[in-house]
A and B are shown apart, each in its own frame.
Chain A
Amino acid sequence: MAFKGAIEVDTQKCKGCSVCIANCPTGSIKLSDMVNSKGYHYAEMTGEGCIGCSNCAVVCPDSVITVYRVKI
């Protein structure tokens, strides 16, 4: 069984700490080119590789990541 996932980041609350990036097994998160109103580059999903494992959201200190997942 395979899964396809997606994350949604609360970009205004993200502080760009990058702990999610270090914990993503598929390399599906990067920091944005833009900054939020606090001046932080925020996490954003990149590509189609997300499997919805939730690792990024579990380690996010600011709980700004919501994870969605479907079976494919």
Chain B
Amino acid sequence: MTGHKQMKDMSISIEEIKKPENRIYGKPSLLTDNVMHYCPGCSHGTVHKLVAEVIEEMGIQDKTVGICPVGCSVFAYNYIDIDWQEAAHGRAPALATATKRLCPDKYVFTYQGDGDLASIGTAEIIHACGRGENIVVIFINNGIYGMTGGQMAPTTLIGMKTSTTPYGRDPKLNGFPLVIADMIAHLDGTAYITRQSVHTAPAARKAKNAIRKAFEYSQKGIGLSFVEIVSTCNSGWKLTPVDANKWMVENMFKKYPIGDIKDILK
């Protein structure tokens, strides 16, 4: 670590520690000063920060184009200071395809929720994977439609209560969860697929490394890179943020286990 002052005095005061030269971590400068509209504790904000850190550390702010979804992260363009486009619901991979093909030197990524990507946008993501587009997809899987009031998503767990499955998701009535990352692993057009989370600091650091790898792979011309972040929507789940993280570990991780699923360069 740089910038540490050698201190012999154990009784150094808090105010003395809080000097600019001792600062080791804080808000990345690529994040704007806008207050995020997300609910307290929502995973979206943490993932935004990691994406901003990766772009900042790679020095590609002027070479990156993000595609926003429809969903709670519809306003992602207000928070990360790069070029953005806003896609119609589920169509982010189509817009990313056009952007990347027209500007192949740009780093192009979509940022999509599970309602956006796994429901209305299923065709777009599957075919972008099938075509092997050289884009990054960041997939926020919180198992619910957060923005519209907590309705069931294709990723909702069996038995999980949502506003449209108030007694829990019943497979006889509502079918089974779609496990998108595993599905697209079978397609030759995908290069790197991983599933991560951001509920603890070690998990978030791993997720950041995965996002960085995905951005790097997208410039190699080897196909689509997909980073699923198993996330919480504490408002939709009707839990406190801390309890939502616990519930995620106990329930979501069983269906959506954390780890790399595919890496064609390994």
**Contact partners of B39 in chain A: CB under 8 A:** 15
- Majority-rule SS of B interface residues: loop
Interface bracket on B: 35 or more
**Cβ contact within 8 Å between B24 and A69:** yes
- Cα distance A15–B35 when bound, in Å? 10
How many residues in A have their beta carbons less than 8 Å from beta carbons of B?
A: 37
A contact residues around B205 at 8 Å (CB): 58
16-63 of chain B: CB within 8 A of chain A? 16-19, 22-28, 31, 35-36, 38-46, 49
In the complex, what distance in Å separates the CA atom of A70 from the CA atom of B1?
10
SS class, residues of chain A in contact with chain B: mixed
Are the CB atoms of B17 and A5 closer together than 8 Å? Answer: yes
Q: Does B6 contact A (CB under 8 A)?
A: yes
**A59 B45 Cβ-Cβ under 8 A:** no
**Interface window among B119-127, B218-226, B239-247:** B239-247
The proximity string for B residues 2-19 relative to A, scoring 1 for CB distances below 8 Å and 0 otherwise, is 001111111010101111
Asked if residues A64 and B27 are in contact (CB atoms below 8 Å), the reply is yes
Contact A72 B12 (CB under 8 A): yes
Contact A70 B25, beta carbon cutoff 8 Å: no
B103-111, B168-176, B178-186, B193-201: which one contacts chain A? B193-201
Other 12 A-B pairs with CB < 8 A, given A40-B40, A61-B40: A6-B14, A6-B18, A18-B41, A19-B199, A54-B201, A55-B200, A59-B46, A61-B41, A61-B49, A66-B23, A67-B23, A69-B24
